[in-house]
Structure 1
Amino acid sequence: MNILLLSNNGPNYFNFFNALSSMFMRDGARVFVAVDCAFSREENRLDAVGFDGIYDFSAFFMDHRTDRAILHRYAAFDLNGALLSDFERAEAYGIWGDKADIDYFDRLKSALLTYFDWIFEKHAIDTVLYEGVSNSFAHYALFVAQSRGVRYWGLSGSRLPGRFSLTADPLADNETERLFHEIQAGRVIVEPIVRQWVRDYIDGIENITPDYMKINGLERIAIVSRYLRRDRLKKIRSLARHAFDSRTAAFQAGNPLRTHASLFLRNLKRRVRARDVTRLYGKPVSGEHFLLYPMHFHPEASTSILAGAYLNEYEVIRNIAFSLPEGTRLYVKDHVSAWAYPTRDFYRRIRRLPNVRLLGPNEPTKQLIKQSVGVITLTSTVGYEALLLKKQVFLFGTVFFGFHKGVTKIDKPARLRSILQERLATPPEWNDQYNQDFASAYYLATLPGSLNLMLPACKAGELAEQVYMQLSARARHLSEPITA
């Protein structure tokens, strides 16, 4: 195998991916690294691993001139849409300032394609290894992989406890749907042990939290305990060494010192406004007829990639509020990992909308689902859980559960009122067996393991060993690239 590992400044991700790559190299694979910038190369300790080659995109980008021919060659791919994820991050974290312009983005697209095209060609890459496509760097690697028939192994946590996903194109992740139809047609037989696992899982869904929600720690708003730690001194020294880096050459990290200062200020502002935001939350009202809208974390792939047309949640919520059938409320529940990041004015504007109640992040989500007439969402896990609780879902984005018969896709927001009127008057119905087949298909589309990419080195090595067993088995039995 000739593997291209993608590496950037994800927090502690390098512990897992360096260990996993070492296992592939131990068994004869050649592993090359595409790293977004020199800062990530240093932070991720790539030179200590013994990779077959390390390629710094920021150095490549600095000398690149826009190649219109390669943009034309890849024009069938959504090159502009794939920039949105990093654009949203840059806006939220103040990465680029006002340094990016229209020519910059053309040069960035051209550089990413040229860079990956050159690496794939030079080293006959047959596998790309990373997390699920979550940013522009990964998205462009996927485009080049798809053009060459190369498999992309994207590791992501799933909504199922103790299982993870292996995906390629997040906008074409149809493995669960395929397996569901195979199960329904009797062409795939679900083993009794899996059936029992699924029944127990659905029976206990009200008390289950997805693995990824347990590990991100983003619900904590403390500043002192987060930043005044001994290990932060080492980080500050590292940032100081890159104090004069370009804000745009390293397009994901920017100038690391300035970017981390912006992150600190963002968290500080969250802490300062937290009390005021808490005062703006209301409470559910017994007996009300309502749809539940769960707010999302920003910036994140679940919105910028899977629901890119609906990033402005205030506009989405406002459209819903003015499209509701008479007698229906909209309960907007804040996200446990994102509350108080938006401005006070954002919350006040939501509160002023007719038919809307703004709820805090600690309101019991599963109880709200059960009391609602349905969930309306971009891509949220709350929508998936609502289906298992037999509540209909109105879906704006693209997500693996979109095929479920309980889902109504909102593909024309201008028709939202008529869609809501029709579906709320005659909601879809499905039985326990349908849900069990659905959850069984999702189970079979995932692999065993709790995927925590933020572990320290020792525990990350143990997890990498478990994942390596799954991937090496998959590599032995596959004779063609994975597409989803």
Structure 2
Amino acid sequence: MKLKVLCYQDFDLTTFGIAKNLQEKHNCDLFSIIDLSGKPKKFFQEQSIVKYIKKWFYHDDLFQNKKPDLEYLRYIEKNYKIDIWKIAYNDRIFFKYNDFYKFHPDEILSIIEQSCKLFESILDEINPDFILLPVTNSGRMHIFYEMCKAKDIKVLMLVGTRFRNLFLFSENMEILDYSDELSSSNTSRTIEELQNYLKGHDSFKEVAEYSEEILKSKLQFFKAAINYFLFSKNTNIKTHYTHFGRTKPRVFFNYIGAMIKKNYRINFMNKNLSKKLDDEPFIFFPMITEPERSLLIAAPFHTNQFELIVHIVKSLPIGYKLYVKDHPTMYTRDWRPVSFYKQIMELPNVKLLHPSTNPNDILKKCSLVITAGGTTGLEAAFYEKPTITFTDTIYAKLKSVFVLKNIEDLPSAIRSQLTKKIDFDDLNSFVNLIDKNTFEFHFAEMIVDQHHIFFYGGFLQDVEIETSKMDAFLQKYQLEFDLLGLECVKKIEQHQKHKN
């Protein structure tokens, strides 16, 4: 009997390439939820590359201004153990990060209600064995993910490990499936060898390269602007709640305003923020890009990073200073307001570093890292520094990492962690576990290429996808999709083994 795999297709076309490979080389029936805006939707309506048994277009089933059914939403919360407002409040469309439209609470609940009804009807109709799902970057995707888990439908999610280019398929972002049974190796590395391993999988380098490639081409920008302002009918503002309020004049003036603010912020940082690390004891707090999944979904109660900075500086032992640095990918978000940076700079006993400061240089000199869940918390161990995180992470199993559950315990946690020594056997075991159970995949490179091939260098996503371009893209990355398909099937077999 064929396995049924339901694919959730958003703007990450990696999912489509994996689906094509599963269709060609593995025995399964494919279905799909298409969560895209109007123009790319046309390709998925007409394409015959992947022959889905049935497909649903997410936005086709949503209706504006429908009064929410609160009883149904209570049922969703109870049956699927989903905290709806926790997810909705941190969604990048519904609240803080939307410059174009202010949603009424009833609108939000109505959209979530209709989303849940659609997801329930699909899951009940086809009863899939597996869900092929990108990393959940939106509230609606995360609700779907939680519903699948509650129904005990296994999720196949391509996730990174915090080490550059090392990936695996997993049900969870921060947990290795069946970790107690995974094999490992007995490789014992010295501290120098461990640091060389980290340099070979340096996430900061990946971030820097990504930032250099996305939203940088002036030619692509002008092509995107011509396509959008001259040739787009902009019908999404009526049919896709993610586009509500995005009229062409508002988009134009918002972009001009954003560019002015961005340049002003860059000039302010270049003039006022230092890369110099003083010769003094300090604790390091690296901020997380915002909006970003690692903050909004993974650390939903720690999204106010200024508040976290204040909590940390209140908790410092005498003789220590707090160093803070923004994430370099905030470039793609036009940086934070200057007023935010000034707030940090005005705090006593706090130093705000320039975002371009290499975190590895900071890790060599700091005494402790405190993070809302960022990768720096893992990298700290390779420089013999302990970490405090505000949420569970894949590296939280390290003995040098403490997960803070109660903010009132922060002062004592800092003092305790400052005395913590790195157990290199423990760190070697973690590295060996990751090394043995992952595969090398240059995901960032593929995403950058997707932006350049299909989406004008990241400037415009509502574009028609040409079949010839898709064929060329799939051909170019055929070996990568063969690898992803193989690894996906390995994960399917692992789940089937445990089910039986």
Q: Gaps spanning 5+ residues in structure 2: where?
A: 451-472
Matched, 1:34 2:33: yes
Within 5 A, what are the aligned runs for 1:163-174? 163-170=166-173, 173-174=174-175
Which residue does the alignment assign to 1:449? 441
- Which residue of the other structure, out of 202, 211, 227, is the alignment partner of 1:209? 202
Structure 2 Cα separation of the partners of residues 207 and 390 of structure 1: 18
Per-residue deviation, 1:289: 0.5
Amino acid at match of 2:292: E
For 1:324 and 1:260, the matched residues in 2 are separated by 44
Please state how far the C-alpha of 1:195 moved relative to its aligned partner: 6.0
Tell me whether 1:116 sits opposite 2:109 in the alignment: no
CA drift of 1:461 comes to: 4.0
Note the 1:365-380 alignment, pairs <5 A: 365-380=359-374
Q: Deviations over 1:202-240 (max 9, x none)?
A: 434256423852653268775735512x465445566x2
Aligned pair 1:271/2:263, yes or no?
A: yes
Aligned pair partner of 1:392 in 386, 389, 393: 386
> Is residue 2:17 matched to residue 1:19?
yes
The match for 2:432 is: 440
In 1: Cα distance, 2:74 partner to 2:401 partner:
37
Taking the TM superposition and a 5 Å limit, the aligned residue runs for 1:72-111 are: 72-75=74-77, 76-87=81-92, 91-95=96-100, 97-98=101-102, 100-111=103-114
Mapping 1:34-433, distance limit 5 Å: 34-39=33-38, 41-42=40-41, 45=44, 47-49=46-48, 50-62=51-63, 66-75=68-77, 76-87=81-92, 91-95=96-100, 97-98=101-102, 100-170=103-173, 173-175=174-176, 179=179, 182=180, 190-191=184-185, 200=193, 202-206=195-199, 208-210=201-203, 213=207, 216-217=210-211, 222=216, 224-225=218-219, 227-228=221-222, 230=223, 233-234=226-227, 240-243=232-235, 245-246=237-238, 250-254=240-244, 261=252, 262=254, 265-267=257-259, 269-339=261-331, 341-424=335-418, 427-433=419-425
Task: Report what 1:469 is aligned to.
Answer: 486
Amino acid at match of 1:72: R
Give the deviation of 1:358 after TM superposition: 0.8
Give deviations 1:52-83, integer Å, cap 9, x for gaps.
22212222111766344442333222332222
**SS of residue matched to 2:396:** helix
Distance 1:69 1:89 in 2: 22
Choose 367-376 or 67-76, whichever is displaced more: 67-76
Q: CA RMSD in A?
A: 3.2
Deviation string 1:124-158 (CA, Å, 9 cap, x unpaired) is 22211122222212212112212321111111233
Indicate the structure whose relative CO is greater, using CA pairs within 8 Å and at least 6 residues apart. 1
Measured at CA, do residues 396 and 476 of structure 1 come closer, stay the same or move farther in structure 2, by a change above 3 Å? closer
Look up the equivalent residue of 1:77 and give its one-letter code.
I
Structure-2 separation of matches of 1:267 and 1:205:
35
What TM-score do the two structures reach when normalised by structure 1?
Answer: 0.84
CA distance in 2, matches of 1:204, 1:38: 41
Counterpart Cα distance in 2 of 1:421 and 1:434: 22
Separation of aligned partners in 2, 1:35 and 1:418: 48
Aligned to 1:4: 6
Q: Does the 8 A contact of 2:273 with 2:353 survive in 1?
A: yes
- Structure 1 window deviating more from structure 2 (259-268 vs 274-283): it is 259-268
The size of the alignment, in residue pairs, is 460
Q: Using the alignment, how far apart are the partners of 2:230 and 2:74 within structure 1? A: 43
Distance 1:474 1:242 in 2: 41
Measure how far apart 1:438 and its partner are: 1.4
Contact 1:242 1:255 in 2 (8 A): no
* 2-structure distance, mates of 1:429, 1:196: 17
CA distance, structure 2, for counterparts of residue 91 and residue 58 of structure 1: 22
Superposed CA deviations along residues 307-352 of structure 1, whole A, max 9, x for unmatched, are 1111111111122222222211111112111155101111111111
Q: Is the 8 A contact 2:364 2:383 kept in 1?
A: yes
Bigger shift: residues 107-116 or 157-166 = 157-166
Displacement of 1:254: 4.1
Distance in 2, matches of 1:245 and 1:213, equals 32
Percent identity (aligned)? 16
